[in-house]
Structure 1
Amino acid sequence: MAERKKLVLVGNGMAGVRAIEHLLKLAPDMYDITIIGAEPHPNYNRIMLSSVLAGGTDMKEIIINDWDWYKENGIELLTGHTVMKIDTGRRKVITDAGVEAEYDQLILATGSNPFMLPIPGADKEGVIAFRDIRDCETMIDTAKTYKKAVVIGGGLLGLEAARGLLHLGMDVSVVHIHDYLMERQLDEAASRMLQRELEAQGMKFLLNKHSASLAGRRRVKSIRFADGSEADADLVVMAVGIRPNVQLAKASGIEINRGIVVDDYMATSVPGIYALGECAEHRGIAYGLVAPLYEQGAVLAKRLAGLETPGYTGSVTSTKLKVSGVDVFSAGRFGEVAGTKALRIQDDLGGTYKKIVIEDGKLIGAVLFGDTSDGAELFSLMKKGESIEGREKELLLGISANLLGGQAPDAAAKYEAMADDEIVCGCNGVSKVAITDAIRTKGCTTVSGVKACTKASASCGGCKPIVEGLLKVYAGDAAGEPVKEGICGCTTLNRDEIVAEISRMRLMTVKEVMNVLDWREKEGCTKCRPALNYYLGMLYPEEYIDEKESRVTNERYHANIQKDGTYSVVPRIYGGVTSPADLKKIAEVAEKFDVPMVKFTGGQRLDLLGVKKEDLPKIWAELDMPSGHAYGKTLRTVKTCVGSTFCRFGTQDSIGMGIRMEKAFERLNTPAKVKLAVSGCPRNCAEATIKDLGVVAIDGGWELHVGGNGGVKVRATDLLCIVKTEDEVMEWSSAYLQYYRENAVWNERTAQWLERVGLDAIKAALEKKEDRQALVSRIEKTLSLTTDPWKQIIESDDLRKNFEQLSGSGALPARG
């Protein structure tokens, strides 16, 4: 067997990793692969950041390839590393951490940098771009404290950022240098329709404005314009464009122009070094859309695999987007100049607009607003360059051509006419031929099946109608069954069906469930494995052995991984009440292990931040305190006020009640994280009415509030009941939490669960005392079987050895 070559990819983004995915399919054993990424995350879908900001998607859902994918494919992944130098003579790259990686072939996929306007005040706190997860997190955090946001840039990215900030409750104004929005993707008529829609959603616009400076001392306070006007701003997001990231290539003697200059096979001017994605410039063009970048990756993968392939000749680009809930499509040259003819139809009542531009009998441009179903067909005609004379009105009106006495085009013919290389799913770069191949050869006869096989429709969902259309044409009668979505792409079964089958057949392991219930992916995925692990533990608390390998990284290490690869350790502090001895112990451990930061958390605890992974076992052993489970899907905290113990307004002992609840429910595994609070009077200083379960003291009793959330989607609680005694608080709380445990979907917070099932259904389930007692018995049985994970590790020789191997650390302190 030939010796494996060394391949290094600089950049862990969408373009570069897609090329690696292709290469692994073509030549899985040809290279030892190292991927170096500056961000502390695995490969994620940057296109979906706007959906995360708008609350439609969780951060975890935008991960394209999780940590396990790199391990399974034998890829060495270095996150949080920036490559500072390429030694082209010795064929090595050197990172800012001093790590050296040798290469036979090197791929540069360094992406682009956001352009920041060079105006006075641009360096102030509160002035950011919208480019990565960190920017997204900054916006979410800022919205909790500040209210006035200004987004500079009325293009796609700026409008998506503005819509997300609106969702976060901020007052948002969009500043744009032109007199109408998205001038690169829309003509003025479509843009004005979009503006009206966005204004109805609450967005404000400052058009024809040139940003001059940003005012404020340390933090930005306002933005001033060249015409002398200004606007208040606590947060300024610059979304005015991107520039190819060429600094590394330039310093290494590689030819650059606007981007890194490459040939048709993505090769740079230096042998053995390739470039692709937003950093690359091919035939004078640097592309920013995902489809051309994926086309480049396919060519490069074949080249690296040693296969014959036509070179990359450039891309005709189209843009199909969903801007704040409105579908938009544009392609080609849609401006009206001498020698062109335009046809358009505008329906202000229906909110749709269509325009096509024709030159010499050929379609050269199109704009669709509100209804983009004909976009793929129009784009295909554009690329083919064939004459459309005599069909202009039919193309303009699409399936509604019969309105002018014509006949609606046959739907099947429409999808058959699509070119094989037509990109259907722009988010994931999936072509028509990839989808039809999955339908014909892999038995994917539903949308969920196509999604699992190809990733089409797995992101924004905008291409789902086209996927459904292709299924009707190419799957025939087999596509007639209703599309059924499961808990993930590995199965069509939902949560209730899975739990019922586990109970009926007494399935006892994750592997057994996946085998018996016919999982598509035999090893499962990061969505279904933790879910199955939880459902099994919930159903069989006495018999099921928790599968650590099915838990997420944080839960395996009993600490929260941070963006720089270090960990956060949070010991349990019951009800926010501690002692001098425990404070001293935490301080001594922090000093001994050189912990960079010790912070008071919002949950009234102390957080040791910046802990090295190899120090985790020893830190927990020396603390000798229960874990606060700040990382788990379990009880996190019980926040308390001082109540009647000290406060002159307190009516009950909220501290005692909170400590009792925390000691009762610690270590309880739940479908999602659970936060509790106990307030000693209706002034509610512990913020109990935005918690999963909140208890508020009143004269002569307690109110129990449920289903609150203080996160991105703030939700006030609903009142579950009023009770008189602390024992009744415990009875109702135990029954409520167990009912949630037994009925919620994995990863579903109580707020989402309550809205899905309804408060009345929950009240009915807990109304009878005998039903509450049955639930209490089950939760108490589960709790009696749990111990603190660090006690298990310290007291069990097998567990000690396993963790030491897992963490790569030295031995734990001896028992006793």
Structure 2
Amino acid sequence: MNAQTSFDKAQPLRERLPEKLVVIGNGMAGCRAVEEILARDPGRFAVTIFGAEPRVNYNRIMLSPVLAGEKTFDEIVINTAEWYAENGVELIAGDPVDHIDRERKTVVSRSGRVEPYDRLLIATGSDPFIIPVPGRDLPGVVTFRDLDDVDKMLAAAEQGGDAVVIGGGLLGLEAAHGLSLRGMKVTVIHLMPTLMERQLDEAAGWLLKQELERRGQTILTGADTAEIVAKDGHVGGVRLKDGRQIPADIVVMAVGIRPATMLAKTGGIECERGILVDDHMVTSDPDVLAVGECVQHRGQCYGLVAPLWEMCRALADHLTEQKLDGSGGYQGSVTATKLKVSGIDVFSAGDFSGGDDGEDIVMRDAARGVYKRLVLRNNRIIGAVLYGDTADGNWYFDLLKKEEDVSDIREGLIFGQAFALGAGALADPNAAVAALSDDAEICGCNGVTKGKVVQCILGGAASLDAVRSGCKASASCGSCTGLVESLLALTLGDEVQAGAKTMCKCTSFGHDDVRRLILEKELRAIPQVMQELHWTTPDGCASCRPALNYYLLCAWPGEYEDDQKSRFVNERLHANIQKDGTYSVVPRMWGGLTNPRELRAIADVVEKYDAPMVKVTGGQRLDIFGIRKEDLPAVWADLNAAGMVSGHAYGKSLRTVKTCVGSEWCRFGTQDSTGLGVTIERMTWGSWMPHKFKIAVSGCPRNCAEATIKDFGIVCVDSGYELHVGGNGGIKVRATDFLCKVATEEEALEHCAAFIQLYREQAHYLERTAPWIERVGLDHVKRAMFDDPEAVKRLAARFRYSQTFMQDDPWAKRAAGDRSDLHSHLATVVPAPTEYA
């Protein structure tokens, strides 16, 4: 057998073996290119990926939310370890390639590993630019490009102090935002007169600067860095060329990026600003391709994700000799930038510099913080800048790319698609999305077009979560969630699978998610919650603000300060408004008991302020009617002076503890129901709840205090105390469910505190205990309290802890308007039981 024959027989086997594709770079571009190849021809290549970082591929766009505490690393992972294994991709993480030998067609890693290739893909991304000033190498000077940089910033933030961010572009502002949320005092230094000058015009940049300064950041534009100053061998400050010096415990360099070309250059591949590639992403070596931020195509280098995705599709088409989208290679990109900068929506596209032959259409709405500018040439949009309201960004960008003549809709163009297209669009909120072309981009973070979202939905994704899993649209920052939901409605109509009910129209999150995220992300202010959870309104509404105020009070007792603006008027005034415009006032009577001093005080108030009626309530209290609004502070001051505090008959809180006379007076009484009722009321007064909360203690099974239609009821029996929960005597009467039986008063108190705390932590705002238990089930309540022998103690301890702050700043103190000595007076008159102090 001669050599030629041997070669001929070996050839079929050789053809069956997959080609070896080595990818340098485990980032978004490199892995996306592999995904595109696998989608076209999964068996074509044996793939090995070298990554510089010791971790799987993650979404670098979402590093800012990780820094800000909005997301964890696991939440921004794009390709898990299982993905590499399932697709037969070998990942060599933490071992970057140091040398390309094109003659031998091998790459050599830092550890010395030699890997041969048939095709090589360079996806090295970009390097952060470090301004060449003295002190740039000091410890404490960091960049913002990868997870290690984030970890350094988080470590610095834990120590507190001052942070200086050099660079007022997107990354710089996101770094400043995250460090500010972490508690650092932040100064941003920007060389140019306008923030984000590549994405925003002067007006939008000014609005952004004003808003960031309002949030507590110091923004210095037109500021040139001269030196990073050392202090004890570490960064200590930044000196500007005008002589100003700013203290700094950490300095973040975020002044720009450069294509990472060094590896390609040393390998003999042609480079200019970036690695030179053709329309198929092929370099000067036909076996070497490049993609992403490291390349230069037709004179352009791109730093946005949308062009990278287009490059990856063109590359995969070429390598697999397939064209899924019918493209003829990469033609370059018309870019648009839709971002959320520190929670503020901004959008820009095309050429917004204008020029002599450009025409501007501008809208400013100062009250809403909205600015829109369209630049037209020959009745075609050539540029757009949107600040504060970016809902129509995709539509404007679609018109720009297609060079549509907008003469017919010019007059309404600046007001958005719904207005410009007429009443039909206004009547149908989904019409704007329906009018977008299939190639219009829906999700910028993941490069997903309208057509791909629709394909995903038609393929079986009938809910928002299913779309996120299927094609990744809305899976990252979430700003395109509304567009995806519109596409679901347009495609499936009534067959859309409903998600959890949202809190209100201001948010896509439900009550449970909001409560969970407040704790997970350590959100401690209403504006912070709205910003981090992408509220669609600037200040919320009458539904969500009171709920957020309660959730924050419950989550952070002693840390969060009650926001009176987020309370209903009756809660702020400690009085119920009546139909004639006057108010009624209910002072607290512990357990329904009173004494001559309190009765005289009530009588004096009635006479002094001409109250036309005093009525005994169903909860064993006295309700004073007909008080004028202007007299309310004085009424409460007089009642406080007699030791009477607010009965909270107007708020989402404990109302009353109703009692019978019990064993002290009644011949049927088995226990001291009155004394227990007083103790419970003192223990629980002043506590904020999701809704009003009523308690009753009946001294015997005759149940004279009606304990079995209360939120928490105790029925005393000879052998102890039967505990009942979830009753309601209102419009929809509901008898209680039996919770358990305990032997002692102390156990009854402990279980009452535990049940209240469980309700406070789990119920939705404005949800009484009855519908809460019907929603979650009595078994859930029992499991939460009794499966763990220590659960009741832990819940009760959390309740007692929160009460030290609730009772420390009671409503009555606020109502009286005396914030100095009233507290000490109340502490004497109405002490909390020592066991709950």
Does structure 2 conserve the Cα–Cα contact (< 8 Å) formed by 1:402 and 1:408? no
Instruction: Name the structure 2 match of 1:394.
Output: 412
Instruction: Name the structure 1 match of 2:338.
Output: 320
Deviations along 1:421-454, whole A, 9 cap, x unmatched?
Answer: 22211111111111011122x1222222211111
Cα distance change, pair 775–286 in 1 and its aligned pair in 2 (3 A)? same
Q: 2:300 aligns with which of 280, 285, 291?
A: 285
Q: 2:437 aligns with which of 419, 438, 449?
A: 419
Indicate yes or no: 2:793 matched with 1:776: no
Distance 2:445 2:786 in 1: 50
1:776 deviation in Å? 2.2
TM-score by length of 1: 0.60
Match of 1:473, SS state, is helix
Distance 2:488 2:184 in 1: 42
Indicate yes or no: 2:319 matched with 1:301: no
Indicate yes or no: 2:469 matched with 1:452: yes
Instruction: Name the structure 1 match of 2:266.
Output: 251
Distance 1:15 1:163 in 2: 26
Distance 1:165 1:354 in 2: 29
The list of structure 1 runs, each at least 4 consecutive aligned residues, that deviate by more than 4 angstroms after superposition, is: 402-413, 494-497, 752-758, 768-774
Instruction: Name the structure 2 match of 1:340.
Output: 358
Deviations along 1:750-790, whole A, 9 cap, x unmatched?
Answer: xx9789999x99xx99xx999977522999xxxxxxxxxxx
Q: Which residue identity does 1:265 align to in structure 2?
A: H
Indicate yes or no: 2:69 matched with 1:55: yes
Cα distance change, pair 114–756 in 1 and its aligned pair in 2 (3 A)? farther
Deviations along 1:47-79, whole A, 9 cap, x unmatched?
Answer: 000011111111110001111111111111100
Distance 2:81 2:783 in 1: 46
Distance 1:8 1:204 in 2: 46
1:353 deviation in Å? 1.1
Indicate yes or no: 2:150 matched with 1:136: yes
Cα distance change, pair 36–350 in 1 and its aligned pair in 2 (3 A)? same
TM-score by length of 2: 0.59
Q: 2:87 aligns with which of 59, 73, 79?
A: 73
Q: Which residue identity does 2:235 align to in structure 1?
A: V
Distance 2:783 2:20 in 1: 66
Instruction: Name the structure 2 match of 1:706.
Output: none
Cα distance change, pair 322–777 in 1 and its aligned pair in 2 (3 A)? closer
Distance 1:400 1:175 in 2: 40
Q: Which residue identity does 1:101 align to in structure 2?
A: E
Match of 1:776, SS state, is coil
Q: 1:260 aligns with which of 269, 275, 282?
A: 275
Q: Which residue identity does 2:410 align to in structure 1?
A: E
Distance 1:246 1:283 in 2: 17
Indicate yes or no: 2:250 matched with 1:235: yes
1:332 deviation in Å? 0.6
Distance 1:754 1:205 in 2: 41
Does structure 2 conserve the Cα–Cα contact (< 8 Å) formed by 1:415 and 1:470? yes
Cα distance change, pair 17–755 in 1 and its aligned pair in 2 (3 A)? farther
Does structure 1 conserve the Cα–Cα contact (< 8 Å) formed by 2:395 and 2:417? no
Q: Which residue identity does 1:482 align to in structure 2?
A: A
Does structure 2 conserve the Cα–Cα contact (< 8 Å) formed by 1:398 and 1:409? no
Cα distance change, pair 29–119 in 1 and its aligned pair in 2 (3 A)? same
1:312 deviation in Å? 0.3
Distance 2:101 2:151 in 1: 35
Deviations along 1:88-135, whole A, 9 cap, x unmatched?
Answer: 111111000011111111100000000011000000011111110001
> 1:485-634 to 2 correspondence within 5 Å?
none
Does structure 2 conserve the Cα–Cα contact (< 8 Å) formed by 1:151 and 1:172? yes
1:417 deviation in Å? 3.1
Cα distance change, pair 457–405 in 1 and its aligned pair in 2 (3 A)? closer
Distance 1:398 1:307 in 2: 39
Q: Which residue identity does 2:345 align to in structure 1?
A: D
Q: Which residue identity does 1:474 align to in structure 2?
A: T
Distance 1:407 1:34 in 2: 50
Instruction: Name the structure 2 match of 1:675.
Output: none
1:234 deviation in Å? 0.9
Cα distance change, pair 27–460 in 1 and its aligned pair in 2 (3 A)? same
Q: Report how many residues are paired.
A: 526
Q: Which residue identity does 1:236 align to in structure 2?
A: V
Q: Which residue identity does 2:113 align to in structure 1?
A: V
Indicate yes or no: 2:503 matched with 1:482: no
Distance 1:126 1:113 in 2: 19
Does structure 1 conserve the Cα–Cα contact (< 8 Å) formed by 2:411 and 2:420? no
Q: Which residue identity does 2:408 align to in structure 1?
A: G
Does structure 2 conserve the Cα–Cα contact (< 8 Å) formed by 1:173 and 1:203? yes
Cα distance change, pair 306–347 in 1 and its aligned pair in 2 (3 A)? same
Q: Which residue identity does 1:16 align to in structure 2?
A: G
Distance 1:389 1:769 in 2: 67
Instruction: Name the structure 2 match of 1:20.
Output: 34
Distance 1:771 1:433 in 2: 46
1:473 deviation in Å? 2.0
Instruction: Name the structure 2 match of 1:207.
Output: 221
Q: 2:455 aligns with which of 424, 432, 437?
A: 437
Instruction: Name the structure 1 match of 2:112.
Output: 98
Instruction: Name the structure 1 match of 2:136.
Output: 122
Q: Which residue identity does 1:209 align to in structure 2?
A: A
Distance 1:757 1:186 in 2: 40
Instruction: Name the structure 2 match of 1:194.
Output: 208
1:271 deviation in Å? 2.1
**Which stretch shows the higher mean deviation, 124-133 or 386-395?**
386-395
Cα distance change, pair 485–113 in 1 and its aligned pair in 2 (3 A)? farther
Identical positions, percent: 45
Q: Quote the RMSD (CA, aligned, Å).
A: 3.7
> Which segments of 5 or more consecutive residues in structure 2 lack a partner in the other structure?
1-12, 503-509, 514-745, 793-837
1:268 deviation in Å? 0.4
Does structure 1 conserve the Cα–Cα contact (< 8 Å) formed by 2:128 and 2:145? yes
> 1:708-723 to 2 correspondence within 5 Å?
none
Instruction: Name the structure 2 match of 1:223.
Output: 238
Deviations along 1:436-480, whole A, 9 cap, x unmatched?
Answer: 11122x12222222111111101100111111122222223323x
Q: 2:166 aligns with which of 152, 155, 160?
A: 152
Does structure 2 conserve the Cα–Cα contact (< 8 Å) formed by 1:112 and 1:242? yes
Q: Which residue identity does 1:332 align to in structure 2?
A: G
1:393 deviation in Å? 2.6
Cα distance change, pair 774–409 in 1 and its aligned pair in 2 (3 A)? closer
Distance 2:420 2:451 in 1: 31
Q: 1:472 aligns with which of 489, 496, 504?
A: 489
Does structure 1 conserve the Cα–Cα contact (< 8 Å) formed by 2:163 and 2:186? yes
Match of 1:287, SS state, is coil
Distance 2:18 2:413 in 1: 53
Indicate yes or no: 2:403 matched with 1:385: yes
Indicate yes or no: 2:125 matched with 1:108: no
Indicate yes or no: 2:377 matched with 1:359: yes
> Which segments of 5 or more consecutive residues in structure 1 lack a partner in the other structure?
487-493, 498-727, 745-751, 780-816
1:396 deviation in Å? 0.7
1:306 deviation in Å? 2.2
1:293 deviation in Å? 0.2
Instruction: Name the structure 2 match of 1:520.
Output: none
Does structure 1 conserve the Cα–Cα contact (< 8 Å) formed by 2:186 and 2:218? yes
Q: Which residue identity does 2:354 align to in structure 1?
A: E
Distance 1:212 1:280 in 2: 32
Cα distance change, pair 321–769 in 1 and its aligned pair in 2 (3 A)? closer
